[in-house]
Structure 1
Amino acid sequence: MSSQTNNNKLAIKFRCPKELEGLLPQPIPANLGVPDWLKSMPTTAFSALNQQDDDTIKRCPPFIDAMTCGFLIPLICDLKVEDGEIVWDNDIPPGGEIDFPRSPISFHDQSQLTGSPLFEADRFVIKFHNLWTIEAPEGYALFFTHPVNRFDLPFTTLSGLVDCDRYRDSWIHFPAHWHDTSFRGVLPKGTPIAQCIPVKREGWAGQTSAFTEDEAQKVQALHAALKREPGMYRRKFRA
């Protein structure tokens, strides 16, 4: 089975049970899921320290590129959170050819986190259910993590790396730490619960050395150019 589209781009394949087609919110390219706060924030702001207008993170390519790479996996239905309880009303039809979770979340027992910084004796870790199987092209794994730079979300999804070129015929669910205990309200259907980023499996070796004289001159020249020309990385180095 090919993992390439007609225009020869590599493709991540998302599949769901046929009775859920059209009912589940679909995974989307991360560049289509930019949050409203990023869209509305200014590109420059006055710096009291520098006494001038400086660029905000909205004009920082590495910050934006991290947020817009890969795909976002959506929450399958609204979650209502109130007084320590999470409730939902999900329209998943009964029956079907295969068994799959009918609820949007379940829980990890806190004992699984014993010895980790996330352990709290009186709290569970939630697990978001994802009803899409996910297939990566041959030779690629997928790095699943919290939606990048989404500090506004009341939970933090734990990170994991899955060999989705091989493990492609079952569900991948996402454990998450609900850190905002004061949250009250609705976490809406479609909220990104995880970001998946393709990672090609390759062997890597680390090399360390001191600058040569020529390398030191190049570092100094680039450092000076970056000071002279705001936005230079975006214009000359960004792929």
Structure 2
Amino acid sequence: MTVEIVFRCPPEWDDILPRPIPGRDGLPDWLRAMPGQAHSVPLDQDVRTVKQCPPFIDAMGGGWLMPLLCDVSVDADCSFSWDWDLPVSSLDRLTRAPIAQHPSAQLDGVPFAAPGMAALKFNSAWTVSVPDGWSVLFTHPVNRFDLPFRTLTGIVDCDAFSHGFVHFPALWTDRDWTGTLPKGTPVAQLWPVPRGITARFGTLDGDHVGQVEETLDLIGDARGGYRKNHRAHNR
């Protein structure tokens, strides 16, 4: 099933804003550079790295990446600045700042927010629209623990909220990080998710037993068994 996402921005900024991109087009340089195999000292043999793990790669390459709108400089005291000369938009209530601050009190009692940790909001200038009956999951770019922030996860009903701007709350986790976050840095990753999913439970008996054995044989007899026999190719 194909689900179309529609991204819209103010017309005055269409030629300026970085666009959301498919996850596969935003794979990080470190993933491309890492080896496909590495030596395991405990096993005394070479093993495949996560670069050859389809679920790991497919998660990173799935969905769409939402970009940082412009270069943002970060000083040692976690102060943020930017130099971005945007034309005036007809949407006069739309912020022109790429980053805003959340009051730290909003995180009181959250176990993963250390006292004094900067609470940010990455602003977006793109609306997101999906078909009726679908929501959108927004989360931190998958497996991107190299980034100095952690975007919080949320779900938005973007079939109804198709003309509102979804911004991305985040925690600045690396207090020692200074420098410039470049324009286009992925600040969130999104997937459409259907609503109304139900579940049922059963046991692995009857034909399911044989199917489990067949699956285990296919993935155990040769390297790449999951990739060759079970992985979808129409991504």
User: Same fold judged by TM-score > 0.5?
Assistant: yes
In the TM superposition, what is the alpha-carbon distance from 1:151 to its structure 2 partner? Answer: 1.0
In the alignment, which of 78, 86, 93 is matched to residue 92 of structure 1? 86
CA distance in 1, matches of 2:37, 2:89: 54
Q: Which moved more, 1:82-91 or 1:66-75?
A: 82-91
Unaligned runs of 5+ in 2: none
Q: 1:61 to 1:125 in 2, by over 3 A?
A: same
Amino acid at match of 1:183: W
Q: Please give the secondary structure, in 2, of the residue aligned with 1:19.
A: helix
Q: Please give the secondary structure, in 1, of the residue aligned with 2:105.
A: helix
| Structure 2 residue 28 is the aligned partner of structure 1 residue 41 | no
In the alignment, which of 183, 202, 205 is matched to residue 212 of structure 1? 205
Unaligned runs of 5+ in 1: 1-7
Contact 1:146 1:159 in 2 (8 A): yes
Q: Which moved more, 1:151-160 or 1:119-128?
A: 119-128
In the alignment, which of 181, 184, 187 is matched to residue 178 of structure 2? 184
Q: Which moved more, 1:18-27 or 1:112-121?
A: 112-121
Task: Tell me what 1:227 maps to.
Answer: 220
| Structure 2 residue 120 is the aligned partner of structure 1 residue 133 | no
Q: Which moved more, 1:212-221 or 1:115-124?
A: 212-221
Contact 1:140 1:201 in 2 (8 A): yes
Q: Percent identity?
A: 44
Q: Please give the secondary structure, in 2, of the residue aligned with 1:207.
A: coil
Amino acid at match of 1:17: P
Task: Tell me what 2:72 maps to.
Answer: 79
In the TM superposition, what is the alpha-carbon distance from 1:95 to its structure 2 partner? Answer: 4.9
In the TM superposition, what is the alpha-carbon distance from 1:142 to its structure 2 partner? Answer: 0.7
CA distance in 1, matches of 2:76, 2:163: 37
CA distance in 2, matches of 1:60, 1:123: 34
In the TM superposition, what is the alpha-carbon distance from 1:238 to its structure 2 partner? Answer: 0.3
Amino acid at match of 2:102: H
Q: 1:123 to 1:151 in 2, by over 3 A?
A: closer
Two-structure CA RMSD over aligned residues (Å): 1.8
Q: 1:95 to 1:132 in 2, by over 3 A?
A: closer
Task: Tell me what 1:175 maps to.
Answer: 169
In the alignment, which of 20, 36, 47 is matched to residue 54 of structure 1? 47
In the TM superposition, what is the alpha-carbon distance from 1:119 to its structure 2 partner? Answer: 3.7
Contact 1:81 1:87 in 2 (8 A): yes
Amino acid at match of 1:142: V
In the TM superposition, what is the alpha-carbon distance from 1:204 to its structure 2 partner? Answer: 1.1
Q: Please give the secondary structure, in 2, of the residue aligned with 1:195.
A: strand
Q: 1:97 to 1:127 in 2, by over 3 A?
A: closer
TM-score by length of 1: 0.90
Contact 1:110 1:119 in 2 (8 A): no
| Structure 2 residue 230 is the aligned partner of structure 1 residue 237 | yes
1:59-104, Cα deviation, whole Å (9 max, x unpaired): 1000011111111000001111112211111121135343211111
TM-score by length of 2: 0.91
